[in-house]
Amino acid sequence: MLASSVQGRSGFPRRVFVQVFDGKPSPEGGLVLEELQSRKESVTVVLKTTEEILKHGWDLSAESDLVVGDFEWTRMAVSALKLSMPDPPDYPSCLRHLLQRKIWTSTLGEVQEVHLRRSPPSSAPQTAEDQDKNTIRKLFIKPASETKAFSGLVASSDPEDFWLPYLLEQFPPSFPVFCSELLDIAAEFRVYVVDSAIRCICRYQGNESEAANLDRNLVEDAVRILCESPEGSDLKHGCGIDFAVVRVPPLVARSPGPDSGARAQGNVETGAGPAAASGQSDAPGGRMSRGMTVLLEVNDGFSLGAYEGLSRQDYTDLLIHRWIRLTSAQYQQSIEQ
Q: How far apart are CA 42 and CA 299, in angstroms?
A: 30
Does residue 320 register a pLDDT over 80?
yes
Q: 257-297, pLDDT tens digit by residue? A: 444 433 333 343 444 332 332 233 333 334 444 679 999 99
**Residue 85 identity (one-letter amino acid):** M
Q: 9-31, pLDDT tens digit by residue? A: 468 999 999 999 998 999 999 99
Pairing of strands 185-194, 197-205: antiparallel
pLDDT at residue 247, as a whole number? 85
Return phi, psi of residue 322, to 5°: -70, -40
The CB density around residue 261, as the number of other CB atoms within 10 Å, is 11
pLDDT at residue 319, as a whole number? 96
Task: Report in angstroms the alpha-carbon separations of 170 from 146, 156, 158, 166, 259.
Answer: 14, 18, 20, 7, 28
Q: What residue spans define the domains of the chain?
A: 15-85+305-336, 103-180+248-289
Q: 140-165, pLDDT tens digit by residue? A: 999 887 766 788 889 988 888 888 88
Q: Stretch 187-200: mean pLDDT, rounded?
A: 97
Q: Which residue has the higher pLDDT, 85 or 259?
A: 85
Q: Which residue has the higher pLDDT, 282 or 171?
A: 171
pLDDT at residue 134, as a whole number? 54
pLDDT band per the 50, 70, 90 thresholds, residue 207: confident
For the ranges 69-83, 213-227, 246-260, the maximum mean pLDDT occurs at: 213-227
Q: Which residue has the higher pLDDT, 260 or 81?
A: 81
pLDDT at residue 120, as a whole number? 40
Cα 5 → chain centroid: 24
pLDDT at residue 330, as a whole number? 52
The CB density around residue 68, as the number of other CB atoms within 10 Å, is 29
Q: Which residue has the higher pLDDT, 130 or 98?
A: 98
Q: 29-77, pLDDT tens digit by residue? A: 999 999 999 987 789 999 999 999 999 999 999 889 999 999 889 999 9
Does residue 115 register a pLDDT over 80?
no
Nearest CA-CA partner of 287 in 319, 250, 318, 248 = 248
pLDDT at residue 277, as a whole number? 29
**In the chain, which ranges are E strands?**
15-21, 24-25, 44-48, 65-68, 103-107, 138-143, 153-156, 176-180, 185-194, 197-205, 239-246, 292-300
Nearest CA-CA partner of 199 in 38, 310, 33 = 310
